[in-house]
Amino acid sequence: MTKKYRTFVNCQLGRTFKDVGDTISDEQFTTNRHWYGCEIPQGVMLLTAAIDTQDDRIEIDVCGWGIGFERWGIQYLIIAGHPNARDVTDQVDALLNRVWIREDGAQLIIARLVWDSGGHYTDDVYDYCRKRQARGVYAIHGGTDYRAPLVGAESKALRKGIQTSFFTLGVNVGKDRVFDSLQTKEVGPGFCHWPLDPNMADKITPRGYNDTYFAQLTSEHRVQHLTRGRRHTVWQPKRKGLRNEAWDLMVYNLAAVLILGGATYLEAVAAQQPAAGQTHAPALPVSAGRRVYSSGIR
């Protein structure tokens, strides 16, 4: 497109010029993904979880992390019901309390869980997260500033006279980072792995990484805008009605690691890893009497 045409669209038609840019190919997840064949691979040093809120369900993605933000998809769950329903929050509690066994025998728990507080259940999400903040649970909210960093400073929300900690996310920047990670072709820093087996170790519980999941990872494209003479890019659905929960949850899990401390935290966790053949490392104190190593290994 010519510069004159962009000017025509902006000035004469009064619309924002959009130029279709980067997107994720469907073939990305059939020809270029690394499969792993155990419940929790050796390279996973800590676990995070992220929750997307819908009116009739919540969707949860549990991710494993290694040095350089290498990522493993561990389990994707969809829990039907209103986000404030007792049976729904009980299942989230069970996920928080679960002990995951790595292939070398090390025991991991979820080090940080973040829950999207947008939508019609903000107060309920705040209430859940506030009561479990000592366990590493935080509310998050997607911001509208396309230039904002993925994780802003911790903020306090005052609802009904009660303060709750939350983080505002620069979702657009986060999607840029996830996109770059999904384009990484060599196993190592930034690379994304998914499980070979469609079920967990019990051979019954689904992992959740099915065709619908991967379709959601390709549901948006990066579009170039020219607004008031300034060019920038944002992520938008390829067409109206496409679901993108999996795509958003990739961003939320990355935010969870950054809230923990990002690359510095990952390096500290790596230093606490048990030696080969061992399942224990020097313990770090944690509340509720649990012995957890680096908030990720116990």
User: Strand, coil or helix: what is 171?
Assistant: helix
Query: Quick one: pLDDT band at residue 298, thresholds 50, 70, 90?
Result: very low
Q: Which residues contact 265 (CB under 8 A, 6 or more apart)?
A: 257
Question: Looking at the predicted structure, is the pLDDT value of residue 95 above 80?
Answer: yes
Q: How many CB atoms lie within 10 A of CB 274?
A: 17
Query: Quick one: pLDDT band at residue 275, thresholds 50, 70, 90?
Result: low
Question: Looking at the predicted structure, is the pLDDT value of residue 19 above 80?
Answer: no
State the DSSP string of 207-239: ---SHHHHHHHTSEEEEEEEETTEEEEEEEESS
Q: What is the pLDDT of residues 5-16, one digit of tens each?
A: 344 334 433 444
Start-to-end C-alpha separation, the chain: 57
Q: What is the pLDDT of residues 99-149, one digit of tens each?
A: 999 998 889 999 999 999 988 999 999 999 999 999 999 999 998 888 899
The confidence score (pLDDT) of residue 230 equals: 80
Q: Mean pLDDT for the chain? A: 83
Q: What is the dihedral of CA 125, 175, 71, 241, to 10 degrees?
A: 70
Phi, psi of 251 (to 5 degrees): -70, -45
Task: Among 135-149, 222-236, 245-259, name the most confident range.
Answer: 245-259
The confidence score (pLDDT) of residue 140 equals: 97
Query: Quick one: pLDDT band at residue 59, thresholds 50, 70, 90?
Result: very high
User: Strand, coil or helix: what is 168?
Assistant: strand
User: Quick one: average pLDDT of 161-170?
Assistant: 93
Point out the least confidently predicted range of 145-154, 269-278, 287-296. 287-296
Query: Quick one: pLDDT band at residue 258, thresholds 50, 70, 90?
Result: very high
Structure tokens, 39: 């419940």
Which residue has tokens 């709750």?
A: 164
User: Quick one: average pLDDT of 66-92?
Assistant: 96
The confidence score (pLDDT) of residue 226 equals: 75
The confidence score (pLDDT) of residue 26 equals: 62
Structure tokens, 213: 């999941």
Distance CA 290, CA 279 (A): 15
Q: Please report which helix (H) or strand (E) contains residue 169, including its range.
A: strand 162-169
What Cα–Cα distance (Å) separates residue 12 from each residue in 5, 8, 18, 224, 228? 10, 5, 15, 19, 13
Better-scored residue on pLDDT, 25 or 156: 156
Q: What is the pLDDT of residues 168-226, one digit of tens each?
A: 999 999 999 999 998 888 899 999 999 989 999 889 999 999 989 999 998 999 988 77
State the helix-helix crossing angle for 245-260 and 262-271, rounded to 10 degrees.
70
User: Strand, coil or helix: what is 152?
Assistant: coil
Exposure of 199 in the CB half-sphere (CA atoms within 13 A): 5
User: Strand, coil or helix: what is 71?
Assistant: strand
For residues 32 and 85, is the Cβ–Cβ distance under 8 A?
no
The confidence score (pLDDT) of residue 1 equals: 39
User: Strand, coil or helix: what is 259?
Assistant: helix
The domains found in the chain, sorted by start residue, are 18-289 (3.30.420.240)
The confidence score (pLDDT) of residue 14 equals: 41
